Copies of this chain bind each other. A is one copy, B any other.
Amino acid sequence: MSTEAHRHNAIDRLVALLSKLPGVGKKSAGRMVYYILDADPSYARFLAEQLAALHGVIKRCSRCGSFTETDPCPLCSDPGRDPSVICVVERAQDVRVIEESREFRGRFHVLGGLIAPLEGIGPDKLSIGQLLVRVRQEGVREVILAMNPTVEGDTTALYLQKLLKGPDLIVTRLASGLPVGGDLEYADRLTLSRSFRGRVKVQEP
């Protein structure tokens, strides 16, 4: 009986909600709730406020599709970024990952998914039409396909590559191969095979 009573209280409701988050199981959700209970109540209040406001404050950029507070987003409206190169990614969070690497200074385009016929996701479900319009209108010279190197990522990249093909446009794809600091011994067969096919000539120093 007590165990039942224990199950349906505010702690358990919060544990159930938190364990829906990616990478969070019931145990870690429990640890989080007890951390929140032990912390100053202002922490829970700030967190609640930010969560309640999130969907109202953050929208999709009407140009590139990434999450933003202003439309167009800071990345699309920054004159310091090169508009002639567009990096195409699957999800809005990929923009963040690439931005943090500080490796790319062009514009982004978020597809909103990958082509996955088995899950009923065809090209029409992705923002591909919008990408074609941007390529035409924004004087784009290069499109970098930055999908994950998975079956769906490869399928989508191949589809876009055919669609974008033209005399004035370079279409590239992020290199795939051994991760830096990795070990041949632990590389899977497919990664190894890709790193062979994509091998590059050693440059003289």
Contact = CB atoms under 8 A, between A and B. Distances in A.
Contacts of A138: none
Contacts of A34: 67, 91-93
A101 to B, nearest CB: 11
B55 A51 contact: no
Interface string A21-54: 1111000101111111101010111111111111
Given A24-B32, A37-B54, 10 more contacts: A3-B102, A9-B68, A10-B58, A11-B67, A17-B47, A22-B35, A31-B93, A37-B55, A41-B55, A49-B52
A129 interface: no
Contact of A58 (B37, B51, B102): B37
A81 interface: yes
A28 B32 CA distance: 14
A52 B45 contact: yes
A52 B13 CA distance: 13
Given A2-B81, A3-B99, A34-B93, A55 B50 contact: no
A1 interface: yes
Nearest to A70: B5
Contact of A35 (B1, B21, B69, B81): B21
A17 B43 contact: yes
Q: Which of A17, A80, A81, A99 has the most chain B CB atoms inside 10 A of its CB?
A: A17
A6 interface: yes
Interface in A129-166: none
A194 interface: no
A79 to B, nearest CB: 9
